[in-house]
Amino acid sequence: MGERAQEASRKNGIHIHDQMVIVIPESCYCPGKLQDLDPDHIKHWGFLDFTATRAGNINRNYKSSVYWIKDKQTGEVGLP
């Protein structure tokens, strides 16, 4: 997926970190818009779109949201 993520980042003008992070709140509740949890630290940047053939699904389309997440303590964006 790394190559497709880089291709999509160039196509959509979104910088994608080298690591993929799946965010799941402790309560397991996810609002319709993740940025509604903390609009000052979470922003929706766009979507990562790609097509892949996996496990018998030919040319399946994948679309994942990409978020900008700012650390509240350090002010840094992304992972160290």
Three-state SS for the chain is: CHHHHHHHHHHHCCCCCCCCCCCCCCCCCCCCCHHHHCCCCEEEEEEEEEEEEECCEEEEEEEEEEEEEECCCCCCECCC
Model pLDDT for residues 36-63, shown as the tens digit of each residue: 888 888 888 888 788 889 889 999 998 8
Instruction: Give the global pTM.
Output: 0.56
Q: Which of 3-17, 21-35, 62-76 has the lowest mean pLDDT?
A: 3-17
Q: State both tokens at 71.
A: 């650390």
pLDDT for the residue numbered 45:
80
Residue type, 52: A
Give the residue with greater pLDDT, 5 vs 43: 43
